[in-house]
Amino acid sequence: MSVPGAPTAKEKKYDRQLRLWGAGGQEALETAHILLVNATAAGTETLKNLVLPGAGRFTIIDDAVVTDEDLGTNFFLDDSSIGLSRAQKTCELLCELNPDVKGDYINDSIENVIKSTPEKLKEFTIVLATGDIVTSTLLSLDSILYPLDTPIFVLKCVGFAVTCRLALSEHTIVETHPASTVDLRLLNPFPELLALAEEKAGSMNDKSKMNTHDHGHIPYVLILLRALDDWKSTHDDNVPSNYSQKNQFKSFVRSKMWDADEENFEEAIAAVLPHFNSPSIPSGTKAVFEDEKTKSLTSSSTNFWIVARAIKDFAEKNNGLLPLPGALPDMKAESKDYIQLQNVYKSKARADLAAVVEIAKSLLSELGKPADSISEPEIETFCKHAGYIKLIRGRSLKQEYEDSPNAKKISNEISEPTSLIHYYLGLRAYESFISEESNTKRVAPGVEDSSVESDAEKMDKYVTEILDKLSITHSPELLEGTSKAIREIVRVGGGELHNISSLAGGIVSQEIIKVITKQYIPMSNTVVFDGISSRTEVYEL
């Protein structure tokens, strides 16, 4: 098609997702290499949701042979797969979903890969471990991947219970996708904005100098700036600061209407509460500014930290104001007045950006890096989101299991009958069970009808061991919720239910996309889903 701007074939195919994460997010996804450990139903469902939007590559490590039980839960296997390598067959059927994606498999156990070719694990952008994996293997994966900053997801799905743990050592997000980035600077206007207010709204109170049509089309931003000027002259030069003053100011603006149906004035009045805020640096941004990595840049600092530092320095020189994002909401106005106002904000945003670029260049030169090693569009995106950036410092599995378990959180939750911490403890006990009871052959709790109750009692014992290790005092009464969760887990006999695994695959693939694209905010750090009450809860463990 000859129409300029018409979408390419790829843009057409991925249209519905590009509207969420844009070309930048898509590129990150397409260069990612995802490792799935064990092709369980939850694992293949997760990969399905990543192959479809075009994740670059995936590899499956699994030494299992396809059984009939797999066919009852896993959609990416069929009758002809029985008896063959599960890694190979699921890889083949997943690859059918999207010719843009490359799939590989290793028909071996993760334990063997860790033992014989641990360097193989360094190839992956992200690792998802599912199925029955013993604790020692999880901790080995953690000890290899966590120091490399490779995010690890550990997903457990047994019956109606799901937990997913994300071990992510450091994650920085610029594009958090806030609902709005508008900053109108009403309480600290810059000169160009004040000049425009004077030009367009200077005669706002004077019927001899302005006609009613023009009065009804003054952009509300300029109405507010002009009214603020009047207000300050009778309030010792102070702006309305508390709730009651702001309400008085709203009445003051209303008194300036010439006609009861002037929409622009109604818009002005509605904008007072949301936009009359004294400038302050939001907590997420402050956390980045105060981080050691911002304060002491080194030659190995990544772009995020260098730009964060440039913006921090900018704000310090600029009365604590972050660079202006430059966005302007729609408002009742004549086209040309609105565009003029929009350009005033945009010019200021461009000037702020130029100042930040200059600072970044000098920082780069101090660090001995080329001045152009960070592109202007990258700095621009950062400036637009400066008030909304986010730093997540996660915790390793070793911290959760051994070094510094969050005993306080668990102990606070444990007496709550409807808390989902019971499923967390139940699935930790499940992991202990398969770690301890399986010798040469996998043994899951509740496999045989006759062992359901005795296996549940063993699981009770594993929970008390975990709690003892955390020095959490417990009693049978206190553990009633956990005991029920354990019995629900044992009921299914150590297997997956397709719906629950598919749902879990949806949750985890959303999180993986957020981590890979570095857009939106991933959960930190454990999500529990209960398929019975249809609830999730996120715990930092």
By CB under 8 A, what part of segment 10-49 binds other proteins?
Answer: 11-20, 45, 48-49
> Which residue bears the tokens 């952008």?
125
Q: Indicate the residue type of 393.
A: R
Smallest CA-to-CA distance from 167 within 466, 410, 526, 430 is with 526
The region of 112-120, 126-134, 249-257, 515-523 touching other proteins under the rule CB under 8 A is 515-523
| 360 residue type, one letter | A
Is 498 a residue that touches other proteins (CB under 8 A)?
yes
> Closest CB to other proteins among 288 and 528?
528
Q: At what angle do helices 191-201 and 220-233 cross, to 10 degrees?
A: 90
Q: Are strands 526-530 and 161-167 parallel, antiparallel or unpaired?
A: antiparallel
- Judged by CB under 8 A, the stretch of 245-253, 311-319, 358-366, 530-538 that binds other proteins is 530-538
Beta carbon nearer to other proteins, 313 or 488? 488
Say how many residues touch other proteins, by CB under 8 A: 87
- Closest approach, Cβ 63 to other proteins, in A, equals 20
Q: Is 6 in the site for other proteins (CB under 8 A)?
A: yes
Binding of other proteins by 160 (CB under 8 A): yes
Query: Which DSSP string corresponds to 417-478?
Result: TT-THHHHHHHHHHHHHHHHH-SSS---TT-SGGGHHHHHHHHHHHHHHHHHHTT----TTT
Q: Quick one: which of 155, 427, 503, 515 contacts other proteins (CB under 8 A)?
A: 503
Residue of 393, 24, 328, 311 whose CA lies nearest to 184: 328
Residue 119: CB minimum distance to other proteins, A: 31
Q: Does 7 bind other proteins (CB under 8 A)?
A: yes
Which has the closest alpha carbon to 243: 280, 274, 278, 273? 273
Q: Which range, of 6-14, 101-109, 285-293, 350-358, touches other proteins by CB under 8 A?
A: 6-14
CB distance 94 to 48 below 8 Å: yes
Smallest separation, CB 75 to other proteins (Å): 5
297 vs 389, which CB is nearer to other proteins?
Answer: 389
Nearer to other proteins, 246 or 487 (CB): 487
497 binds other proteins (CB under 8 A): yes
Q: How far is the CB of 203 from other proteins (least distance, A)?
A: 20
Does position 446 interact with other proteins (CB under 8 A)? The reply is yes
Paired with 37 in beta bridges are 61, 129
CA-to-CA separations, 288 to 170, 178, 318, 377, in angstroms, rounded:
12, 17, 18, 21
Residue 401 or 529: the one with the smaller Cβ distance to other proteins is 529
- Residue from the set 148, 270, 354, 538 that interacts with other proteins by CB under 8 A: 538
Answer yes or no whether residue 403 interacts with other proteins by CB under 8 A.
no
Cβ atoms of 183 and 326 within 8 Å: the answer is: no
The rounded Cα 519 to chain-centroid distance in angstroms is: 6
Dist. CA 40–CA 37, nearest whole Å: 9
Whole-number minimum distance, CB 363 to other proteins, in Å?
31
Which amino acid is present at 269? Answer: I
Minimum CB distance to other proteins, residue 14 (Å): 5
Point out which span in 121-129, 140-148, 200-208, 512-520 binds other proteins (CB under 8 A): 512-520
Determine the straight-line distance between the first and last CA of the chain, rounded to whole angstroms.
Answer: 54
Q: Which of residues 57-116 bind other proteins (CB under 8 A)?
A: 67-69, 71-73, 75, 78-79, 96-99
By CB under 8 A, tell whether 151 contacts other proteins: no
In terms of CB distance, is 53 or 405 closer to other proteins? 53
Q: List, in sequence order, every beta strand (DSSP E) within 135-227.
A: 152-158, 161-167, 170-173
Among 63, 334, 413, 436, binds other proteins (CB under 8 A): 334
- Per the structure block, which two tokens stand in for 508? 């985890």
In angstroms, give the least distance from the CB of 491 to other proteins.
Answer: 5
Token pair of 124, please?
């992956």
Rounded to whole angstroms, the Cα distance separating 322 from 54 reads: 36
Residue of 40, 482, 509, 517 interacting with other proteins (CB under 8 A)? 509
Q: Work out which of 35, 493, 516, 539 binds other proteins, going by CB under 8 A.
A: 493
Distance CA 487, CA 456 (A): 6
Contact status: 414 vs other proteins (CB under 8 A):
no
- Please say whether the beta carbons of 73 and 494 come within 8 A: no
Separation of alpha carbons 55 and 26, rounded Å:
8
> Which structure tokens are listed for 55?
């994740």
3-state SS track over 83-126? CCEHHHHHHHHHHCCCCCCEEEEECCCHHHHHHHCHHHHHHCCE
Residue 531 as a binder of other proteins (CB under 8 A): the answer is yes
457-486: contacts with other proteins (CB under 8 A) = 484
State which of positions 242-301 bind other proteins (CB under 8 A).
none
**Which residues ranging from 297 to 326 are in contact with other proteins (CB under 8 A)?**
none
In whole angstroms, how close is the CB of 510 to other proteins at the nearest point? 4
Closest approach of Cβ 306 to other proteins, in Å? 26
**347 contacts other proteins (rule: CB under 8 A):** no
What gap in Å lies between CA 144 and CA 38, rounded to an integer? 18
